Amino acid sequence: MMDTYLDHAATTPPRPAALAALQQWIDAANASAAHARGQQARTAVEQAREEIARVVGCSPHDVVFTSGGTEADNLAVKGIVWAARDSRRAVPHVVVSAVEHAAVREPARWLAERGDARLTEIAPGPDGRIDPQQVLAAVEADTVLVSVMTANNEVGAVNDVAVLAQALADSSVALHTDAVQAFATRGVDLDTVPLDALSLSAHKFGGPQGVGVAILRRGRAVESLAHGGGQDRGVRSGTFPAGLIAACGAAVVAADADRDGLVERLAPMSARLAEGLTALDGVRRTGPADPAHRLVSHVHVMIDDVDPSALVLELDRAGLAASSGSACGSGAVRASHVLQAMGAVGTPLRLTFGWTSTEADVDRALDVLTDVIARLRAGDAAGLSFAPHPASH
Ligand code: PLP
């Protein structure tokens, strides 16, 4: 039986251009070496840097390569707070939204726990969006950092980061946004939305896993988290992984070139999936009602009267890869901090599209979910009409 993959927000497959670049540079020499092979690798790294800078609208000097979105977020949050702590007597104050990915939320909380920062978290509205005016009202004299994600990874709610950028443009407060989920379908334009720091992760837009980008605007002090050979202007030491970086650059270019077409392809698909699911009893769409305020790639629903663990198991058995929200280490499903903050009730299910998605995925997802939900409610998980997926356990 064919797998139906609707978990692109977790990882989307690499694009051909990214795979070609990875293959070309995976056996590159050390890009810091003086010999010709090293310099060739360096050229590939710098070319990727320039392409990324051109696409997102910043200087190549602002581009710092990381191991992914998590490191980019940690670098922005800890790096900016620690740099500020060194230059002031008061404990730096940080404002983050309560729906941030753990890669922002946890470092911010960790800094607060150890006394390196004071933290204010801004709750979302019931649609998962953050009110920029509430964020701005929380800014104090000692605020050094505001971090609000461009789009939420779970429900796909898009925030008005441009309003924050405009309001904080002439202040000493650094504005960071996690644009990891937004880049594929919304893009980033730092020419029109000036920010101090921004995070990207290649495997969310057709690049490989294990590489990301921290855009750190020059002039904003950032403490390094990785001291060593001094690569990337001393902010992030470590041998440049030329293959991953070249592939990240190629994916940025390909995703940018394909964005309009992708949005056009995905809009009717996600609308049809959402319509089909919400036509079922006790299934509600989560997140903003206005398509302008949510990612076209995300369909998130809350389902009544279905056990979360059983749902995950049965979808996997049916060969439908989706996300249940938040799974903890034991494999059990628990309500995510995002859904709790939104006050959403029911069993969460996230279905996310990407550049390889087709209308057939929508057909199959609707068939599987209609069947699974009905059978789970009837207490008949074992009698599913779909044969167990060979890869499931
Ligand atoms: N930020 C957001 C919004 C994400 O969705 C993710 C990944 O799920 C990350 C950060 C972490 O990125 P990475 O997996 O590259 O560390």
Span 254-307, pLDDT tens digits: 999 999 999 999 999 999 999 999 999 999 999 999 999 999 999 999 999 999
Q: What is the reported pLDDT for 387?
A: 40
Ligand 1 centroid from CA 349, angstroms = 18
| Pocket perturbation via mutation, ligand 1, pick of 66, 130, 180, 198 by most ligand atoms within 8 A of CB | 180
288 lines ligand 1 (CB under 6 A): no
Q: What is the reported pLDDT for 219?
A: 80
Contact 51, 193 (CB under 8 A): no
Catalytic residue among 2, 328, 382, 391: 328
Q: What is the reported pLDDT for 334?
A: 63
Q: What is the reported pLDDT for 390?
A: 36
Helix (H, G, I), strand (E, B) or coil at 71: helix
- Please name the residue whose Cα sits nearest to atom 9 of ligand 1: 69
d(CA 206, CA 201): 10
pLDDT in tens, 148-196: 999 999 999 999 999 999 999 989 999 999 999 999 999 999 999 999 9
CB atoms < 10 A from the CB of 261, how many?
A: 10
Ligand 1 centroid from CA 162, angstroms = 21
346 lines ligand 1 (CB under 6 A): no
pLDDT in tens, 329-387: 445 556 789 999 999 999 999 999 999 999 999 999 999 999 999 999 998 755 444 44
Ligand 1 centroid from CA 329, angstroms = 17
The whole-model pTM stands at 0.94
Helix (H, G, I), strand (E, B) or coil at 145: strand
* Residue of higher predicted confidence among 349 and 328: 349
Reported as a pLDDT band with limits 50, 70 and 90, residue 89 is confident
352 lines ligand 1 (CB under 6 A): no
d(CA 71, CA 197): 13
212 lines ligand 1 (CB under 6 A): yes
* Residue 251 backbone phi and psi in degrees, to 5: -70, -40
- Per the annotation, the verdict on 58 as an active-site residue is no
pLDDT in tens, 241-264: 999 999 999 999 999 999 999 999
Q: Which of 186, 198, 200 is nearest to 292 (CA)?
A: 186
154 lines ligand 1 (CB under 6 A): no
Write down the residue that tokens 């360096």 correspond to. Answer: 42
184 lines ligand 1 (CB under 6 A): no
Reported as a pLDDT band with limits 50, 70 and 90, residue 85 is confident
d(CA 210, CA 200): 11
